[in-house]
Amino acid sequence: MQNIYDLTLQELEQFCTPSYRAKQIYSWLYHHYIDDFDAMNNLSKDFRQTLKTTFQLQRPKIITTQHSKDGSKKYLFQTHDLHNFESVLLKMRESQNDETGKIIQEERWTLCVSSQIGCKVGCAFCLTAKSGFVRNLSAGEIVSQVVSVKKANQIPPQKRLNIVFMGMGEPLDNFDEVIKAIQILANKDGLSISPKRQTISTSGIAPKIKKLGELNLGVQLALSLHAVTDELRSKLIPMNKAYNIQEVISTLKKFPINSRKRLMFEYLMIAGVNDDIKSAQSLLKLLNGFKAKVNLILFNPYENSQFQRPSEKNVRSFQEFLMQKGLLCTIRESKGLDISAACGQLREQNL
């Protein structure tokens, strides 16, 4: 039986007679976060019964929640077939009130969603890779992460989140389901999360980047670069042996981006591996000609990891060099260090 969360509005309209019922169902799913077809009380009892015998209304269960002192929350989900995966809700900005209590600045959230259970890429620094690959998540399982987290935090329907496909798995390795999830998330009768608020982070599957660009969905793209030589990148990201740096860079040059946006390059800084000024110089040269933004990410250590977190001095020096040369570079604030925030840590504890 198909999960109703796997359906786009257009697919649901084909099932519903009259078709406007599909928008009513979408409202219940994505505005009211209901858990039972019987809660759809503006639909007839017969039609609700038809829905129950045709579809499952099924979201992965939240089985563990960890709360960080910085406001971040990490969720461990369990699927219907008893596999675990993670999502992380990051509080990017606190709300502010004036003297009368009126909200003058709303809080801002980013939700990091998973696209696979496990991962095939096998990055040397990633704990997710240690447990191997289990299966892809369906579009509905991806979308359900957003619904469940919004419901758990009583985030109202009109409150938008930024979505990053940067959790467990390589999004472009689950291409069709991720694209469908993006379309469901963006639907204005549902969660209404514009593609420009959705970012796909990829380790660099060049043909899939090309295919994504041809769809021109309006999503943001972030390349997990992490190294500036093929020798080092192949050690950190084995996929580089199939799609080396130059092939990925050449593909990115053809990727359509909004004139007001930049291509994002994620650079995981690891002590003694890629955090020196020589690497910064090579990175500057590699990204010459791009309208780019570099996000420096400090490695988040986990038990028995072979890598270490870089010093703040090295990170600041790296950033200052790039900024002085005109390359926009930010240091991603580490969040959730007290709640198993490294991707895969919470799942590893519950295997």
Q: Are 91 and 71 in contact (CB under 8 A)?
A: yes
The CA-atom distances, in angstroms, between 169 and each of 133, 228, 269 are 8, 23, 20
In angstroms, the first-to-last Cα distance of the chain is 28
Token output for 127: 């704990």
Give the number of other CB atoms < 10 A from CB of residue 38: 14
The CA-atom distances, in angstroms, between 116 and each of 87, 156, 159, 189, 313 are 11, 27, 26, 26, 35
Q: Which of these is catalytic: 112, 119, 126, 343? A: 343
Cα distance between residue 229 and residue 225, in whole Å: 10
The single-letter DSSP state of residue 334 is: P
Residues in the chain: 351
The CA-atom distances, in angstroms, between 209 and each of 219, 235, 268 are 12, 22, 21
Indicate the residue type of 228.
Answer: V
User: Among 201, 121, 218, which Cα is nearest to 165's?
Assistant: 201
3-state secondary structure of 150: helix
User: Among 159, 106, 167, which Cα is nearest to 137's?
Assistant: 167
User: Among 149, 156, 161, 223, which Cα is nearest to 186's?
Assistant: 161
The question of whether 343 is a catalytic residue gets the answer: yes
The single-letter DSSP state of residue 37 is: G
| CA 50 to the chain's CA centroid | 34
Q: Which of these is catalytic: 86, 141, 170, 348? A: 86
Residue 100: burial class (beta carbons within 10 Å; 0-12, 13-18, 19+): exposed
The question of whether 86 is a catalytic residue gets the answer: yes
Please list the active-site residues: 86, 343
